[in-house]
Structure 1
Amino acid sequence: MSVTLSSKSGEVGEDSVNLMASDSRPKYGWRSHISVWWIGAAAVCLGFLLLILILVVVAHNSKALGHQDSKCANVIYSLTADRDTLRDERDQLKLKSINLTEEMELLQTRYNAVAVSRDTLQEEVNRLNLSRRDEPCHEGWKSFGGKCYYYSPSGNTKNWESSRKDCKERGADLVVITTKEELGFVIQTYDTIWIGLSDRDQESKWKWVDGTIDLLSNEFWEVGEPNNHDSNEDCAEVVRSKRKFNDVRCDKRLSWACEK
């Protein structure tokens, strides 16, 4: 009796176990499936969000890079234009420099030709003066190089205009110096003396009383002269100690030399 109960009891126990097992499986299985589904959905959403974020970043960077490339292109274009402009200006300056150099060389050639012509003419004048039959100078006049010279009396001084007037009254004019030899002859008498050179008609354009332009200034003027020191030095004197010309005021009183 007890065995039977035991046996039944065992059967009941086995069924109970099977029933409990059968009941417990569905209870926990559907929850597990739901959790997996949510995790998958969340992963998919995160993937989409990450993809969208990546696309936004890429688009932004592409736009920034495009803007930067456009800005760089503008800078390069501007620099290129500036370079071309500077290159054109350089070429124009080179051309102007070449033209100026050619003009300078042409002017130098003309100057040299004029200087040669001047020297030739001067030599011819000197030759004619020497070959000219010497005529006796009037009393009180000195002869040199075929010309006659008069010197003002010692102690007698006049301004430039009055000195020239005296020469004209004697049928002459203030001395015109054309050679170093003539300069050496003229300065033998006085320490300083008026000569027939001035720029009274036009400032800085020195002209002799016979109308010729002073072409020997580099040879005969003192260094730094004429300088128009007091803005009114329009007449020329000769200083014996320096054997050079100097510009002074025309109202200065000096000895003078006439020539005819």
Structure 2
Amino acid sequence: MPKVIYTEPDMNKKVKFDRGEMDERIVVIYVSADTPRDGETSTKREETADTAPNNGPGDQHSAFTPTQTRYNNLTKERDQLQTRYNNLTKERDQLQTSYNNLTKERDQLQTRYNNLTKERDQLQTSYINLTEERDQLQTSYNNLTKEKGNIQSSIVRRDGDTLTPVCTSSLLRRTWEESRQDCLERGADLVIINSRDEQTLLFSLHLTAWIGLTDSVTEGTWKWVDGTSLATGYWGAGQPNNSGLFYGQEDCVEIYYEQDDPVKTWNDDKCGTNHNWICEKAMYWYAKQPDNAGPTGDEDCAEIHEDQSPLKSWNDMSCDSKLNWICEKVF
């Protein structure tokens, strides 16, 4: 607590202040009447050696203002750096998340790419397989078309002045009776061989095939399917011998192409054996017909010509020609 000291002032005395632990004193100086200073009383704050340890607020602020300012600035700068650090950390985490997401998306795209590549390869393999299968089917189709052509084509033989188309089948094999039934369904019958030229022509087909000759009615009496008896035969060596596994049952005739002499190829065989067969359909063209000899080469229809013999009366003509006609109704 401040102490009040009353004394005569010594104006020549110097006062020294030591800023240690000091008590604050208030000195009241009364000036005598002999030395008045404008009639005023002065009051002075004095700090002694044992005054209070803290200076006045004004003095402390003056002494520490630069340091405090630096401290405050550094604190502010630290806070700003901390904020920037936090922002960068947050941005880094966001970038890391984006990177992870992109990596995951890349892996998914890679997986999809691999799957599509695998699927493409499988489709390519399927395409190649289907292409090969298509080519095989095309080859089979071509072969069947050729076979069909062989079955339906006209292999022409000459029987006197009559041209007779012959149908063959090298794809299917049937018994003699089944083969004949197939021919009958085509409006034909098993082939009848009446000449050496016809025998040679049929041998050139390179088929082991049934022909229309049998002795199933009377053993040893060979007849054609039209009921006529065999006149000239083209038997292989030692044939017919009727010497199959079951003796006495070789009643039908095949033409056997694995022979050296084309006019020695017939063999009697069991009628129940499956072979190819050759059909023959008789046609009744008169001499040199069909000739397609019209002015435009379009003689695509046939007529019966009354001025010819009954079995040699067909003639090809233009389908635009105006003629009589004959109808048939199937019952």
TM range (shorter): 0.3 to 0.5
The answer to which structure has the higher helix fraction is: 1
Larger Rg: 2
Q: Which has the higher contact order (CA 8 A, sep 6+)?
A: 1
The answer to which structure has the higher strand fraction is: 2
Structure-2-length-normalised TM-score: 0.35
